[in-house]
Structure 1
Amino acid sequence: MNRIRLLVFNSALSVLDYRVPDGMRVEPGSVVVAPLGPRQITGIVWEADRLPANEVPAEKLRPIIEVLPVPPLAAPLRRLIEWTADYYCAPMSSVARMVISSGGALNGPATMTEYRLSGGMPERMTPQRELAIAALEGEQATIRELAGIAGVSEGVLRGLVNQGVIEPVTVSIDRPFAPADPDFDVPELSPEQREVADELVGAVRARAFAPFLLDGVTGSGKTETYFEPMAEAVRMGRQVLVLLPEIALTENFLKRFEHRFGAAPVQWHSSLKSTERRRAWRAISEGTAQVVVGARSALFLPYRDLGLIVVDEAHEVSFKQDDGVRYNARDVAVMRAHFEGFPVVLASATPALESLHMAESGTYKRLELPSRFGGAELPHIDTIDLTQEPPERGHWLAPRLIAAIEDRLAKGEQSLLFLNRRGYAPLTLCRNCGFRFKCPNCSAWLVEHRLSARLACHHCGHVEQPPATCPECGEPDCLVACGPGVERIADEVEQLFPEARVAVATSDTLNSPERAADFIEAAESGAIDIIIGTQLVTKGFHFPELTLVGVIDADLGLEGGDLRAAERTYQQVAQVAGRAGRGAKSGEVLIQTRHPGAPVIAALAEGNRDSFYGAETEARRHAGAPPFGRWAAIIISSEDDAEAREAANRLGATRPQHDGLMILGPAPAPLALLRGRYRYRFLVNARRNAQLQAILNDWLATQSFAPGVRVGIDIDPYSFV
């Protein structure tokens, strides 16, 4: 009899022992199906000495049912699962579930039916049929997809199928992706780019762990530079992963990649259909997917032979998962490269302070691109003191910014206005009785969205229609929008410049790769004069005719209790400023602020990144904050406020006492009610050498919580709400 230990996808059970029937072969990493009561569950065979022992007698062990037809998870990936679970205080089963993220992929090869024109003609031609036949020449896809291409109903196409004009074709769901050609269109790099690219290419050839910080100003050509080590990895038959912080950036990257390599990379993000996820997962696990570009979840896929990871815009907060397993993809990418022995590149124009510290200490190798490609110059930056140059009453654009937009319109150039606030207004109230629209599930105001005529909560997704009268006093025509969002700025721009072509770019308007592609095409073709956007437009886009950037409210990010507020504000404003003057024409950036003397605003205006990072580093050192200390958050929540408060107070009463450890709280979270759950927080500050995870796990193990109470641990938190 052969006893095996399974990691199963159930955090309550986690580890179970089974036996392997005679004649069945398994190995560590095999994905298997096993019985659990009357059900069947999926699990991963694990080394028995690396998981908690199970005391079930050998004679009571049930046999596993089958080994699924996918390659076993390699040992380095299993070590990454263990490290991630241990570092982020998460169940191993929850981390492993991210690896096995396409259930359909586990069932082996499969086929589907697609359709194409057969060459025949229908018995009776109609305008709709004629339109379909003309549009579908050379196309092959499902009926639904063909209907979208042709702009006709599925019924029209099914009629053509019945008459033999369109024929079915059986295809493999797992058909291979088009191969990338590393020599398809090799670019001419500048001497600076060539020096950096050669160093990265050498690291790929060496097949050893090497972490790099690619620190290049906006417009310096970081993407073209890291394409060269990617090409070398492809030549060597190895796989490459590129992590992007936003799906909206994917289309821009795909375009540049295809121009360089002659084929599209394999994509992995939440917008993929289940069949697309299955196809990508199997190609990745079998090693036929050469280059994968995706969101943070792509990091845990079971690559057969990964040879390079690139984390683009590595400073971005969206690489940090906010729920479930609260991991930071930037840091886990470095650990995956460490376990598997290959280079990892963190690319950014505004690196995270932690990454800069790692470079200065010699842990990462810093590679610099200090100037823009092709002789383009960095934009001129100036501030507009709103206390001295205020906008007109009821408006948000200062006169000097309005004049600069007029100048760009006259020259046929583009302008970008940045405000990191979606919707029309962050608050709607009744001027008669003072009633404010609040979310019923969260302690947050409802945000007015006039484009979609709704009031929405940006935390839980609650939506309601704006009423005609005040719900509190019944007064009609008394509801007032307070403060600006991007839609309100767009309204003001359209009033000021009625002839201008305006586009609003947010996660509401660019919520799919297709919409993002349409926006990029319109901006690049000159079909947009003024872009108004949130942080979505601060990175990755290259519009040569964009010469003016206006930051509407640079102080917005400095408000609230975010302990990284100054760093985030600097990164956002510096990134959006970098969209200006990327072509032959010079750029200008105007920053509207009420605090021009604030260190972060002054550093932006002076273009003095080093002075800002130096001052921020010393402030962090003094406070024992990352990278000189450690942070962790503990969130206690329940649907019952009293229950959550009692659990938090009881936990606080047993707080551990350690040198170099400070525990603040419990206190109501800034968002004290979120998605119907009342929340209390602890903030833990520890020295670098403290065994933080062990201390937290031991502390929580002393408590038993009511069934309705949830306890979440967030190591290295980025969100403090």
Structure 2
Amino acid sequence: MAQKPFPNIPMQDSGNLTASACSTTRISVLLPMPFAGPFDYRAPADMDLQPGDIVVVPLGKRQETGVVWDATSSLPADLAPPVTEKKVDAARLRPVVCRLDLPPLSAELRQFIDWVAAYTLTPPGMVLAMTLRLHMRAAPTPTMGWALAENPDLNALRLTPARQKVLDLLADGNHRTTTDITNATGVSAGVVKELANAGVLRPVSLGPERPFGQPDAHYNPPVLEGEQQSAAVALRQTVTENRFSVTLLEGVTGSGKTEIYLEAIAACLEQGKQALILLPEIALSAQWMERFSRRFGVQPAVWHSEIGQRARRLTWLGAADGSASVIVGARSALFLPFHNLGLIIVDEEHEALFKQEEGVIYNARDMAVVRGQLARFPVVVVSATPSLETLANVEAGRYRHLVLPTRHGGAELPEPRVLDLRDHPPPRGLFLSPELVEDIGATLERQEQVMLFLNRRGYAPLTLCRSCGHRMECPHCTAWLVEHRNRKVLSCHYCDHTEPMPPACPQCGSDHSLTAIGPGIERITEEARQLFPDARLLVMSSDTLGGPAATAEAVAKISRREVDLIIGTQIVAKGWHFPHLTLVGVVDADLGLGGADLRAGERTIQLLHQVAGRAGRASSPGLVILQSYAPEHPVMQALLSGDFDAFMQQEAAQRKPGFWPPYGRLAALIVSADTPVAADEAAAQLGRTAPYGEGIQVLGPAPAPLAVLRGRHRRRLLLRTHRNIAVQPILRRWLGMVNLARNAKVDVDIDPVSFL
């Protein structure tokens, strides 16, 4: 969202239901399902229900968990959906079954859910589902432990040394879990069970488990000087002001941005409030957690898709009761039910990974700003290469701006060099220029580390037949199949279709005629092994790193200098600090500049700038070599000059005249159907009823760049308006005018970042 996301919104009162609602015992309950809104139920006389309470209600012949919702909405007029008054007669209302013993959802969170639903044109229950996930729709089970029984008959018990250890431990009167006992005494769980069966131990409820340590804001404060100290003081002041604001913390790679915003977290903790840090990539949490624990003495709570259900449950409850005072997580952490949230940090705010592309389609960076304004606390967005949307907000005075122009500790920014592959081509069939190979060899001889970057998984992006020209395509998508030679398969990176590599061309039957076209990371690894057989190689990509634990181990090996040459996809660009890495080689710097993507240049310079920033972060100078067939391209020239600001100003100048984001509003309608005829007919209906007027333009319908995805045929339309025209009312009217066939579907993407 380039524009101010919404006008000042009054906070919803979190007190009792309205008088009229209470007199009729009618309450609204929002269910985490794709319904248009909440349903009415009857509150039993003995159940004092308040908005936010988590309840069980009947739905058809089954029971479902939902949340008592507010009787009225305080959404701004341009977001509020039309009100339909269809109330069920009070005598027919079904009663609430029970209220669960879970912390209620706050007024701020309920209002946030309504806001996100209205902004994204999503049923509010689907947004609620991101907060009230399936494993949370039940009362928490208390943790059970053991205590010494009163007056146990020890004469009938044979006291072995192991049993005596347990009795001695519990003699202090403290209650402990089986795990606590076995860890403290070294005995097995069977010993504890034997004592319990003998009546020597009695079970006790320990209450809810609280596994989170409390970060100490004063544990290990950093020594900051100059611009770093000024920025840290400014961020601390922002937090202590106790009001909504958004601050962009911009700093070159290696300038210490993380250490500085940790000081804002410290200020938040000093006020007794919770803090949320959003990271774009789960893998980033490995080194980040180490920095956090070094600063605050404990690990924060973690929230992302790869933690187990038990950990998710504990973190959810920790957020709700305040025992998890700092949570770091992926974009979905934004919907946790915080007890007293006082700060959100959005690290690497420019990353497209903050955009959820399926289900509820939202941008976590923008919605973090919304949540901050609703609850009136500060938000800090952090980047070495801020997005144009964020820079436009700075320019308009909506965001504060703190800049760190130099690296921490006197380290110098790496020297950039563009290698023109037209003048210095690689040998036939290879992809590393002799000049780059020479620099890699010299760096390895100095016992310094090298990184090769290519943002393309697999061995080759295309496989074709030398005899008939047949190209191996995905049967479900308009995409080439990518060869993964290590696994001997061809794979689609859009729908995960996988098939074995055929021995002959499936079109003409020629044996051994299929050949790989272009490089993927596996092919570059193969070339590097041949060129540098003695180098210790490590490949970092989503194919080789199974999750945060594997990533943490890879990062540790690099830090211990057990790796000489790192070869990776975009995961290696993410904020890592490798002090012995001095050379970064970008295999294909032009990748990503093609096509009609509005943000192609912006994304490419951000990615390459981040990759380049991995080099020379300590005392040794760094060098970045960009292999390119278009060194005259503005992106390459900006990387050479180091003038990121000038490039972004040029991007802004190109977008302003056509009111392209962030200087206008944009919404995408993606039509999909199971046949091309149905997709064309649905798209044509939308085209015939398209809105028009001053400052409003509809582009399309046209086939989407991925015209078939997962077997569904796709068409796209783009609604573009001036900044002062809200798109939500227009889209509601537009979609309400068409009656699509049952096999057709329209997905709405407000503020799209992807145009596939």
Q: In 2 relative to 1, CA 120–346 (structure 1 residues): closer, same or farther, beyond 3 Å?
A: farther
Structure 2 residue matching 1:98: 3-state secondary structure? helix
CA distance in 1, matches of 2:145, 2:136: 17
Identify the residue that residue 46 of structure 2 maps to in structure 1: 23
- The answer to whether residue 76 in structure 2 is matched with residue 41 in structure 1 is no
Quick one: which amino acid aligns to residue 681 of structure 1? R
Alignment match, 1:91:
123
* 2:110 is the alignment partner of 1:78: yes
**CA distance in structure 2 between the partners assigned to 1:179 and 1:562 by the alignment:** 45
2:474 aligns with one of 403, 420, 439: 439
Tell me how far 1:140 sits from its aligned partner.
8.1
Cα separation, 2, equivalents of 1:559 and 1:378 = 28
Q: CA deviation at 1:328?
A: 0.5
Q: Does 1:218 align with 2:253?
A: yes
The more displaced of 7-16 and 361-370 is: 7-16
- 1:207 Cα deviation from its structure 2 partner: 1.0
Q: Which residue of 2 aligns with 1:323?
A: 358
Q: Secondary structure at the match of 2:638?
A: helix
Q: Aligned partners of 2:510, 2:192: CA distance in 1, in Å?
A: 60
Q: Measure, in 1, the Cα distance between the counterparts of 2:646 and 2:672.
A: 41
**1:556 corresponds to which residue?**
591
Q: Kindly tell me: are residues 254 and 408 of structure 1, through their superposed partners in 2, closer, same or farther at Cα, counting changes over 3 Å?
A: same
Amino acid at match of 2:238: A
Partner SS for 2:72 = helix
Matched letter for residue 55 of structure 1: K
Aligned equivalents of 2:631 and 2:101: distance in 1?
62
2: distance between equivalents of 1:364 and 1:208?
A: 13
The 2-side partners of 1:169 and 1:222 are apart by 49
Q: Deviations over 1:428-480 (max 9, x none)?
A: 12212222221111111111112232211111111112122222233222221
Cα RMSD between the aligned structures?
2.6
Give the unaligned 5+ runs of structure 1.
Answer: 123-138, 151-156
Contact kept? 1:9, 1:93, Cα under 8 Å: yes
**Structure 1 residue 548 displacement after superposition:** 0.5
1:686 aligned residue (700, 721, 743): 721
Deviation at 1:160, TM superposition (A): 9.6
* Shift in CA distance, 120/413, structure 1 to aligned 2, threshold 3 Å: farther
> Are the equivalent residues in 2 in contact too, given 1:390–1:398 (CA < 8 A)?
yes
The counterpart of 2:438, out of the listed 393, 397, 403, is 403
Task: Work out the CA distance in 1 between the residues paired with 2:423 and 2:138.
Answer: 64
Worse overlay, 6-15 or 67-76: 6-15
| Superposition deviation, residue 141 in structure 1 | 6.2
Correspondent of 1:570 among 605, 608, 615 = 605
Equivalent-residue separation in structure 2 for 1:660 and 1:365 (angstroms): 30
The Cα of 1:105 is off from its aligned counterpart by: 6.0
Paired residues of 2:573 and 2:607 also in contact (CA < 8 A): yes
Partners of 1:104 and 1:576 in 2: how far apart?
Answer: 39
Matched positions, count: 693
Residues 661, 687 of structure 1: 8 Å contact kept: yes
CA distance in 1, matches of 2:675, 2:178: 54
Distance 1:450 1:160, change over 3 A: farther
Distance 2:314 2:225 in 1: 38
- Work out whether 1:668 is the aligned partner of 2:713: no
C-alpha separation between the residues in 2 aligned to 1:404 and 1:490?
17
Asked if the contact 1:309–1:333 (Cα under 8 Å) also holds between the matched residues in 2, the reply is: yes
- How many angstroms does 1:661 deviate by? 1.0
- 1:168–1:14 CA distance, 2 compared to 1 (3 A): farther
Q: CA deviation at 1:48?
A: 1.8
Contact 1:16 1:54 survives alignment (8 Å): no
Q: 2:666–2:719: 8 Å Cα contact kept in structure 1?
A: yes
What's the counterpart of residue 129 of structure 1? Answer: none
Secondary structure of residue in 2 paired with 1:556: coil
Q: Unpaired runs of 5+ in structure 2? A: 1-23, 74-82, 147-158, 164-176, 196-200
Cα distance in 2 for residues equivalent to 1:571 and 1:286: 39
TM-score by length of 1: 0.92
**Alignment partner, residue 261 of structure 1:** 296
Contact 1:105 1:278 in 2 (8 A): no
2-structure distance, mates of 1:371, 1:168: 62
Aligned to 2:20: none
Deviations 1:296-327 (A, max 9, x none): 00001110000110000010000001111111
Match of 1:480 in 2: 515
Displacement of 1:639 in angstroms is 1.5
- Is the 8 Å Cα contact of residues 9 and 43 (structure 1) preserved in structure 2? yes
| 1:275 corresponding residue in structure 2 | 310
Q: Greater shift after overlay, 651-660 or 343-352?
A: 651-660
Change (3 A) 1:168 1:536: farther
C-alpha separation between the residues in 2 aligned to 1:632 and 1:361? 22
CA contact (8 A) 1:8 1:15 kept: yes
Contact 2:36 2:124 (C-alpha < 8 Å) held by counterparts: no
- Alignment of 1:357 onto 2:392: yes
Letter in 2 for 1:432: S
Task: Answer with 169-178 or 311-320: which moved more.
Answer: 169-178
Structure 1 counterpart of 2:327, from 267, 283, 292 = 292
Q: Which letter maps to 1:231?
A: A
CA contact under 8 A between 1:105 and 1:281: conserved in structure 2? no
1: CA distance, partners of 2:254 / 2:637: 22
Q: Which residue, 462, 484, 500 being the options, matches 1:465?
A: 500
Structure 1 pair 579–108 and aligned structure 2 pair: CA distance change class (3 A):
same
Query: Which has the higher mean CA deviation after the structures are superposed, 519-528 or 171-180?
Result: 171-180
1:494 to 509, 514, 529: 529
CA distance in structure 2 between the partners assigned to 1:387 and 1:23 by the alignment: 81
Post-superposition CA distance 1:461-514 (Å, at most 9, x none): 111121222222332222211100111111110010000111111112223111
Quick check: 1:248–1:511 contact (8 Å CA) kept in 2?
A: no
Q: Which amino acid aligns with 1:430?
A: C
Tell me, yes or no, if structure 1 residue 517 matches structure 2 residue 555.
Answer: no
Q: Which residue of 2 aligns with 1:176?
A: 211
1:218 and 1:344 map into 2 onto residues whose CA distance is 21
Measure how far apart 1:25 and its partner are.
1.1
Any idea what SS the aligned residue of 2:254 has?
A: coil
CA contact (8 A) 1:190 1:373 kept: no
Letter of the aligned partner of 1:313 in structure 2? E
Query: 2: CA distance between counterparts of 1:426 and 1:110?
Result: 52
- 1:233 matched to 2:268? The reply is yes
- The 3 A distance-change label for structure 1 pair 15 and 360 is same
State the percentage of identical aligned residues: 48
1:630 is displaced (CA, Å) by 1.3
1:341 equivalent to 2:376? Answer yes
Q: Write out aligned runs for 1:519-668 (5 A).
A: 519-668=554-703
Contact 2:35-2:124 within 8 A present in 1 as well: no
Contact 1:217 1:371 in 2 (8 A): yes
CA deviation vs aligned residue, 1:630-665 (integer Å, no higher than 9, x gap)? 111100101122111111111111111121111111
- Counterpart in 1 of 2:94? 62
Deviation at 1:339, TM superposition (A): 0.6
1:587–1:451 distance in 2 versus 1, CA, 3 Å? same
- Determine the structure 1 residue equivalent to 2:10: none
Letter aligned with residue 86 of structure 1: A
- Give the Cα–Cα distance (whole angstroms) in 2 for the partners of residues 43 and 658 of structure 1: 42
The more displaced of 44-53 and 627-636 is 44-53
Matches of 2:398 and 2:378 in 1, distance apart? 13
Q: Report the 3-state secondary structure (helix = DSSP H, G, I; strand = E; otherwise coil) of the residue aligned with 1:48.
A: coil
Partner of 1:132: none
Distance 1:673 1:163 in 2: 62
> TM-score, normalization: structure 2?
0.88
Contact 1:309 1:344 in 2 (8 A): yes
Letter matched to residue 581 of structure 1: G
Deviations 1:377-419 (A, max 9, x none): 0000010011111111111111111111001100000111111
2:6 equivalent in structure 1: none
Distance 2:162 2:25 in 1: 63
